[in-house]
Amino acid sequence: MNNERPATTKKRCPKCRSRSFYIHETQEVHQTWRVEGGNLDRTPGDTMFGSFVGVSGECLHCDHRWTFRAQQIDDLVTENDDG
Ligand SMILES: [Zn+2]
């Protein structure tokens, strides 16, 4: 998905039906530190993004918070370029 591209979502706040809200996407991040003979290198090694944990909403109008059934933000958006 190209993040520069305009996109819309048909989702609404389930409480007040507002179409203005935050989408919080949660994703696992795996980070690796190397230990040799008990010495910990504080410079992180590989960073790998893991599974998408879930997506939640926070309404800008009424502050309601809710959880989307979707796993990631791509499941919520409609690209504008195909109408
Ligand atoms: Zn709301």
pLDDT single digits (tens) 6-28 = 789 999 999 999 999 999 999 99
How many domains does the chain divide into? 1
Q: Is residue 18 part of a domain?
A: yes
Q: Is residue 3 part of a domain?
A: no
Cα of 16 from ligand 1 centre, angstroms: 4
Domain that holds residue 69: 10-78
Cα of 3 from ligand 1 centre, angstroms: 25
Cα of 59 from ligand 1 centre, angstroms: 5
Cα of 66 from ligand 1 centre, angstroms: 10
| 27-79 per-position pLDDT tens digit | 999 988 889 999 998 887 888 999 999 999 999 999 999 999 988 888 898 87
pLDDT of residue 79: 77
Q: Is residue 30 part of a domain?
A: yes
Which residues contact residue 47 at a Cβ distance below 8 angstroms, ignoring those fewer than 6 apart?
Answer: 29, 30, 31, 32
